[in-house]
């Protein structure tokens, strides 16, 4: 089976995990500090806070900004539900915005019309390793005094105009899920330049604990969102491979682009000159004359794994029933959800694998 993605794991990760087990210090120790130092330096921020998942990173980010019941947060409609779920979890209201059909990121032309006196933040998602139009988002945020939380779960290493994603907004949130380029199994990390946000994030991830006059005290109702040293040890090794993995995925994406170029009924991702796209997912759009779900089934028969890329949030049961939003507001998101197809892309693949995937995809589409 040609998998959508496969984690790049080996003996080195096992050796580092054994060191943690032998030490007896399993939580919030040496390796957590190492992964935080690496990410802050790599992304280009003053601070990084390792947490238990990308979802935890988003949740704590909202809490650190004081976003609460009655507030509104602007979020793209096309994303993984975790992005919007955390807004609901803090009691705020997610204000959904359609996407740019070329980038799959939030349509910045529609943001301003959604802003009210309750709006507190914009949460752009750098979908599939691409980048949202951060210049426009910054412009709007400054005009209305809004915070920016970058959902960069898929975008570690992505650059916008030579700046690393996660260093442009007030907060950046990354995931180390196995589907990502590097993994800790589950895990995530938050980046920021703001010392007050950094301090609050540290308190919130660890039960609300802080040291007051040298003594431990519980200063906030916090969570257990800690990354273990076992996970961090895997991550420290993984991060050494990050640039090599990204370069390989970019190369494979270019082969996909070449092979798909002249195939009718398939739209490949658009290249943006100002963006270093890291291709966490290679996502295409099929013509509406094609049954995407049948294509997934047929590819599986040919030992090729494929899947949805992300979801149109307004169309999912909870959000559909609660907010009753009109499909006409989210035409691009719906098309990306209904006709989008994530194809295999990982470090373990090579050119012949990509050519085989495209060949079988073309045969399936031609058969109708």
What does the pLDDT average to over 335-348?
98
pLDDT of residue 104: 98
The structure tokens listed for 223 are 């969570």
Backbone angles phi, psi at 9, to 5 degrees: -120, 150
Q: Which residue has the tokens 């098309």?
A: 335
* pLDDT tens, position by position, 128-150: 999 999 999 999 999 999 999 99
pLDDT at 212: 80
324 is a catalytic site residue: no
Strand partners, 47: 192
Alpha helix (H) residue ranges in 261-328: 292-301, 317-323
pLDDT digits (tens, 9 = 90+) for 21-40: 999 999 989 999 999 999 99
Task: Give residues with Cβ within 8 angstroms of 186, minimum separation 6.
Answer: 52, 53, 176, 177, 231
Domains of the chain by residue range: 11-96+106-240, 242-367
Q: How confident is the model at residue 262 (pLDDT cuts 50, 70, 90)?
A: confident
Residue 357 has a pLDDT of 98
Can you tell me the distance from the alpha carbon of 129 to that of 320, in angstroms, rounded to the nearest whole number? Answer: 27
pLDDT confidence of residue 214: 85
In CATH terms, the fold of domain 11-96+106-240 is 3.40.640
Q: At what angle do helices 54-64 and 82-89 cross, to 10 degrees?
A: 40
Quick one: pLDDT band at residue 176, thresholds 50, 70, 90? Answer: very high
Which among 52, 26, 25 has a CA at the least distance from the CA of 223?
Answer: 52
> What average pLDDT does range 228-240 have in this prediction?
98
Average pLDDT over residues 212-237: 95
Q: Strands 72-76 and 93-97: what pairing?
A: parallel
Per DSSP, the residues of 30-68 read HHHHHHHHHHHHHHT-SEEEEES-HHHHHHHHHHHTT--
Task: Map tokens 């049948």 to a residue.
Answer: 294
Q: Is the pLDDT of residue 368 over 80?
A: no
- Within its chain, how far is the Cα of 158 from the centroid? 11
| Average of per-residue pLDDT across 98-122 | 98
Share of the chain above pLDDT 90, in %: 97
Cα distance between residue 91 and residue 25, in whole Å: 36
Q: What is the mean pLDDT of the chain?
A: 97
Percentage of the chain beyond pLDDT 70 is 100
Q: Could you say which of 120, 147, 164, 180 is catalytic?
A: 180
92: Cα separation from own chain's centroid:
21
State if pTM tops 0.85. Answer: yes
Fold for domain 242-367? Answer: 3.90.1150
pLDDT in tens, 48-63: 999 999 999 999 999 9
pLDDT at 33: 98
Q: Residue 57: name the closest of 151, 180, 147 by CA.
A: 151
């Amino acid at each position: 089976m040609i998998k959508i993605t496969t984690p790049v794991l080996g003996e080195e990760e096992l050796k580092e995990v054994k060191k943690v087990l032998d030490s007896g210090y399993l939580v919030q120790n040496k390796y957590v500090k190492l992964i935080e130092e690496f990410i802050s330096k790599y992304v280009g921020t003053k601070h990084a806070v390792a947490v238990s998942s990308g979802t935890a990173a988003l949740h704590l980010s909202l809490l650190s900004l004081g976003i609460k019941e009655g507030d509104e947060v602007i979020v793209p409609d096309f994303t993984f539900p975790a992005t919007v779920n955390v807004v609901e979890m803090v009691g705020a209201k997610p204000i959904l915005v359609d996407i740019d059909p070329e980038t799959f990121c939030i349509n910045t032309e529609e943001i301003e019309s959604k802003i009210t006196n309750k709006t507190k933040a914009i949460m752009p998602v750098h979908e599939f390793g691409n980048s949202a139009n951060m210049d426009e988002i910054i412009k709007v945020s400054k005009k209305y005094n809004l915070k920016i939380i970058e959902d960069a779960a898929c975008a570690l290493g992505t650059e916008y105009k030579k700046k690393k994603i996660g260093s442009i907004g007030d907060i950046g949130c990354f995931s180390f899920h196995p589907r990502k380029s590097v993994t800790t199994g589950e895990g995530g990390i938050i980046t920021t330049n703001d010392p007050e946000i950094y301090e609050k994030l540290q308190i919130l991830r660890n039960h609300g604990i802080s040291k007051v006059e040298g003594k431990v005290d519980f200063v906030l109702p916090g969570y257990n969102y800690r990354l273990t040293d076992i996970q961090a040890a895997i991550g420290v090794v993984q991060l050494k491979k990050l640039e090599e993995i990204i370069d390989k995925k970019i190369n494979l994406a270019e082969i996909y682009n070449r092979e798909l170029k002249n195939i009718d009924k398939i739209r490949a991702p658009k290249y943006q000159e100002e963006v270093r796209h890291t291709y966490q997912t290679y996502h295409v759009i099929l013509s509406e004359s094609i049954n995407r779900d049948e294509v997934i089934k047929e590819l599986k028969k040919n030992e090729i794994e494929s899947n949805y890329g992300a979801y149109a949030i307004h169309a999912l049961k909870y959000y559909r029933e609660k907010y009753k939003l009109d499909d006409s507001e989210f035409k691009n998101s719906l098309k990306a959800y209904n006709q989008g197809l994530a194809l295999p892309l990982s470090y373990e693949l090579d050119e012949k694998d990509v050519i085989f995937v495209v060949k079988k995809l073309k045969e399936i589409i031609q058969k109708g």
